[in-house]
């Protein structure tokens, strides 16, 4: 078993708290384009930062803890299932793309935004019992746009924290 330094554990705790706070802040922002399910994904800046600074395992744990805490605090069981499906799928894709070394944090995050929506569409189709793929193009565009914004912000944070 790998020993974690106090700095590593403290950083993980701080990032988890920050992701949870940003999840709350996002509930306060009236952000709607008339399409249900589109969110800014502010907490994903923290997940992206954790992926680059702490590693895949820690980013995965942080994301799960944040989704569960936010789901119980600000959402409901269904929103938690949607978030878990999107979060797990997007993190798997982001970890893979980061590992290739061919993508910047912006590219990794944009792909994560798209695949987050793929995970949510799959769960929504299962819950509703019908094909809702027609909804995906709208979510794909929003995933790319918010993913690029998250990636730009996360890239700046990563650059500053690596000093």
| Stretch 68-95: mean pLDDT | 93
pLDDT digit string (tens) for 26-79? 888 877 666 666 788 899 999 999 999 999 999 999 999 999 999 999 888 888
Domain boundaries, the chain: 6-30+38-161
163 has pLDDT over 60: no
pLDDT at site 100: 96
Residue 118, C-beta contacts closer than 8 angstroms, at least 6 positions apart: 86, 89, 136
Percentage of the chain with pLDDT > 90? 67
Distance in angstroms (rounded) separating the CA atoms of residues 6 and 57: 17
Taken in order 123, 128, 130, 132, is the CA torsion positive or negative?
negative
54-67 b/e with 16+ CB inside 10 Å = b?
A: bebebbbebbeebb
- For 45, counting Cβ atoms within 10 Å of its Cβ (0-12 exposed, 13-18 middle, 19+ buried), the class is buried
Q: Token match 């990563």: residue?
A: 158
* d(C-alpha 18, C-alpha 16), whole Å: 5
- CA distance linking residue 29 with residue 5, whole number of Å: 36
The topology (CATH level 3) of 6-30+38-161 is Arp2/3 complex 21 kDa subunit ARPC3 (1.10.1760)
User: Looking at residue 1, what is its pLDDT?
Assistant: 54
* φ, ψ at 92 (rounded to 5°): -60, -45
Helix boundaries (H) for 101-135: 105-128
């Amino acid at each position: 078993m790998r020993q974690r330094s106090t700095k590593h554990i403290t950083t993980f705790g701080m990032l988890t708290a920050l992701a949870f706070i940003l999840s709350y802040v996002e509930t306060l922002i009236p952000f709607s384009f008339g399409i249900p399910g589109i969110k800014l994904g502010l907490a994903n800046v923290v997940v992206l930062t954790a992926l680059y600074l702490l590693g895949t395992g820690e980013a995965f744990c942080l994301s799960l803890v944040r989704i569960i805490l936010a789901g119980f605090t600000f959402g409901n069981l269904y929103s938690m299932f949607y978030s878990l499906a999107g979060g797990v799928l997007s993190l798997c894709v982001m970890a893979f793309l980061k590992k290739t070394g061919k993508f910047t944090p912006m590219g990794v995050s944009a792909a994560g935004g798209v695949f987050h929506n793929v995970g949510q569409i799959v769960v929504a189709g299962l819950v509703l019992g019908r094909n809702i793929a027609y909804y995906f193009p709208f979510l794909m565009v929003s995933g790319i746009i918010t993913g690029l914004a998250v990636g730009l912000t996360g890239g700046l944070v990563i650059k500053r924290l690596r000093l």
